[in-house]
Structure 1
């Protein structure tokens, strides 16, 4: 059996679509970190069990769900409120087609949507995330960025090609930039977490370090190397957004280094 866990804070715009895609046969647990909009009313209408916990980070909030939310099913599927899992994913789980007998965590790929347009090239696929977790054996830890999550390297890993849809951006650029300024501050020093599973992308990021060349490389990677130009204006917008993010990390890293030299 499976419990779906959704982490929320002010997700009234995203949550209805997310919930509508989850089959009624699965219990849903909401872990909320202080919503002030209609998020909790929407969750209650669907019959979700609701828990509250101040935001400690993705890894810690997922562990809170496993430890403190009275979940008795052996498997938990972590779904963000701006994500939609296809019916085929749930059907494959029920039919035992995901081959989880020898696995503790399933790495699930994502397909990104910008302003509702599917990005087929720019993000650089596949992008895997640890989303289906065996409750008794999985622990989440912060990954090398300081804000993302990974699982401990004692976990047995399996992969699926059944991707979920991630509607990560609807055009709220100021809100997006504010959030990513905070994320950039955590990425100033990339520090791999001891004992955590690292993706190929993570290893490459740590290897490259913090150079101004990363800013140029970020744009070239998304727009040219991975074919973001074939996504049209959405591909260009995606490449520019994450080039800005890379520049923000670099500027903050440079300021931090200067402050250390001056102290």
Structure 2
């Protein structure tokens, strides 16, 4: 697990990892109570300057003692059903390289039970002999050889407890995503910028059925549209001035 100032989340997450042989933490020099909480759970703690999510997670995986690795974020919590399923699966020594879990979003205190955010699957459990994370600054991916399976037990993603947290992460993620796009030579047209807000709102609210998730579903759709709009503006800004840096890399788990 990679961390930076996750004191508000990490105790809830660590309390559901009691069954693990070890808990490896790669911290980017937290200034809150994160490390003290990790110490209470007997975590193995390493420090690394933040160089992007992919690099941080690759480093964390390299510090694990076992081949099978569960890599989750500090705001993700395994259900009791998922823990039981993972343990039973690993005892059978499966012929898979990794497993995906379904994850429900919890946003502003509401668990989303409808739409895309209630049945997305994420690859979180894998054999590190079959691969690892790429080097992406943000939206890193596990690149594995071999088969991947799906488990049925759920995780809960306690994403944002308030709008201040959203704004902080929106600023950071949009900067990292824009920097990644600029590094690959990508740009966005004025037309793409203009339609970003209405297009992404329609997509999140109607196509992904967040209108079924109440007022929080509406907020989620508006804010995600805002994120894409801001990211597109930053991509254009970087493209017009290639030598400019929007902001230094700042660490955090997701």
The answer to whether residue 211 in structure 2 is matched with residue 232 in structure 1 is: no
Work out which of the residue numbers 201, 207, 214 in structure 2 matches 1:219.
Answer: 201
State the match for 1:242 in structure 2. Answer: 224
Give unpaired runs (5+ residues) of structure 1.
1-5, 192-209
Q: CA deviation at 1:184?
A: 4.0
For 1:240 and 1:183, how far apart are their aligned partners in 2?
21
Work out which of the residue numbers 156, 161, 164 in structure 2 matches 1:165.
Answer: 156
The answer to whether residue 130 in structure 2 is matched with residue 149 in structure 1 is: no
Give the length in aligned residue pairs. Answer: 233
The answer to whether residue 132 in structure 2 is matched with residue 139 in structure 1 is: yes
Q: CA deviation at 1:140?
A: 1.0
State the match for 2:174 in structure 1. Answer: 181
Tell me the alpha carbon deviations over residues 189-248 of structure 1, each in whole angstroms, 9 at most, x when there is no partner: 596xxxxxxxxxxxxxxxxxx823343221111111222122111011101110001111
Any runs of at least 4 consecutive aligned residues in structure 1 with deviations exceeding 6 A, and if so which? 97-100
Q: CA deviation at 1:124?
A: 4.5
SS of 1:236 mapped into structure 2 = helix
For 1:224 and 1:157, how far apart are their aligned partners in 2?
31
Change in Cα spacing, 1:258 to 1:13, as seen in structure 2 (3 Å) is same
Tell me the alpha carbon deviations over residues 50-91 of structure 1, each in whole angstroms, 9 at most, x when there is no partner: 111111222222211222x2x222211012111101111221
Q: Bigger shift: 93-102 or 242-251?
A: 93-102
Give matches, 1:5-154, under 5 Å. 6-24=1-19, 26-67=21-62, 69=63, 71-96=64-89, 101-121=94-114, 123-142=116-135, 146-152=137-143, 154=145
Say which structure, 1 or 2, has more relative contact order (CA 8 Å, 6+ apart): 2
For 1:134 and 1:97, how far apart are their aligned partners in 2?
10
| TM-score relative to the length of structure 2 | 0.81
Question: 2:82·2:152 contact (CA, 8 Å) conserved in 1?
Answer: no
| TM-score relative to the length of structure 1 | 0.78
Change in Cα spacing, 1:185 to 1:224, as seen in structure 2 (3 Å) is same
Q: CA deviation at 1:166?
A: 0.5
For 1:187 and 1:122, how far apart are their aligned partners in 2?
29
Question: 1:33·1:52 contact (CA, 8 Å) conserved in 2?
Answer: yes
SS of 1:139 mapped into structure 2 = strand
Tell me the alpha carbon deviations over residues 149-188 of structure 1, each in whole angstroms, 9 at most, x when there is no partner: 1122534322223221101101124423332332342354
SS of 1:30 mapped into structure 2 = strand
Higher helix share: 2
Change in Cα spacing, 1:10 to 1:162, as seen in structure 2 (3 Å) is same
